């Protein structure tokens, strides 16, 4: 992928939201920063924590918006405008309650699917044709659409080993996207890790 890329993990800032299901995107951004030896800095003008990395000669910015989930697009839009990034240079990582825990699914674009963070990004990034990785977090009950309490809850201790596998696969997928593009990253890494269960 030519030029600078922007990889955004979505979540909510603050200690009370750490390790919650809705912060799966933040968790992946943290893992990528560790893998790629990036150092985080708070940058108020972008309302974000950023880590600038060089991955095999490919430059990328890792971002954790500090706007809270529903306003994530404000941070993403400001970064894209400042660095003059096209929508094809953006990868967003989000939790998805409609996928089982263990699922990793990249798409080159598409609807927000009711995810307010993605809705905000579409408004500020100029459309929906940006790559996204959805990390399955399961759903408490198939009939219960009121899931705010669930997604803002912490992962169960029993889920942590599976979560770590998911994050590592998604990190590999993000690296593949950066090096070889969306199609190859989808073909190689989309799927559900065996031995999973719905949360």
Give the residue numbers marked as catalytic: 22
- The rounded distance, in Å, linking the Cα atoms of 186 and 4 is 21
Nearest to 184 by CA among 193, 194, 175, 196: 175
- The rounded distance, in Å, linking the Cα atoms of 179 and 163 is 24
Task: Indicate the burial class of 17 (C-beta count within 10 angstroms; 0-12, 13-18, 19 or more).
Answer: middle
Give strand ranges (E) for the chain. Answer: 5-9, 41-43, 48-55, 58-65, 90-96, 103-107, 131-136, 191-192
Phi-psi region of 52 (alpha: psi -120 to 50; beta: other; left: phi over 0): beta
Q: Side by side, which strands form the sheet with 103-107?
A: 41-43, 48-55, 58-65, 5-9, 90-96, 131-136, 103-107, 191-192
* Residue 12, token pair as written in the block: 């909510």
């Amino acid at each position: 992928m030519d030029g600078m890329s922007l990889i955004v993990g979505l979540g909510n800032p603050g200690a009370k939201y750490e390790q919650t299901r809705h912060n799966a995107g933040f968790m992946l951004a943290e893992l990528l920063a560790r893998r790629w030896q990036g150092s985080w800095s708070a940058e108020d003008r972008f309302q974000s924590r950023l880590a600038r990395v060089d991955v095999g000669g490919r430059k990328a910015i890792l971002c954790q918006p500090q706007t809270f989930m529903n306003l994530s697009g404000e941070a993403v839009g400001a970064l894209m405008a400042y660095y003059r990034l096209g929508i094809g240079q953006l990868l967003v990582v989000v939790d998805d309650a409609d996928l089982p825990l263990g699922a990793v699914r990249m798409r080159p674009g598409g609807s927000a699917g009711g995810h307010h963070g993605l809705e905000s990004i579409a408004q500020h990034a100029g459309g929906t044709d940006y790559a996204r990785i959805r990390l399955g977090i399961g759903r408490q009950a198939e009939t219960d659409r009121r899931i705010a309490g669930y997604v803002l809850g912490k992962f169960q201790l029993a889920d942590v080993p599976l979560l770590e596998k998911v994050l590592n696969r998604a990190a590999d997928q993000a690296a593949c996207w950066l090096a070889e593009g969306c199609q190859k990253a989808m073909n190689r890494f989309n799927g559900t890790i065996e031995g999973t269960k719905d949360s």
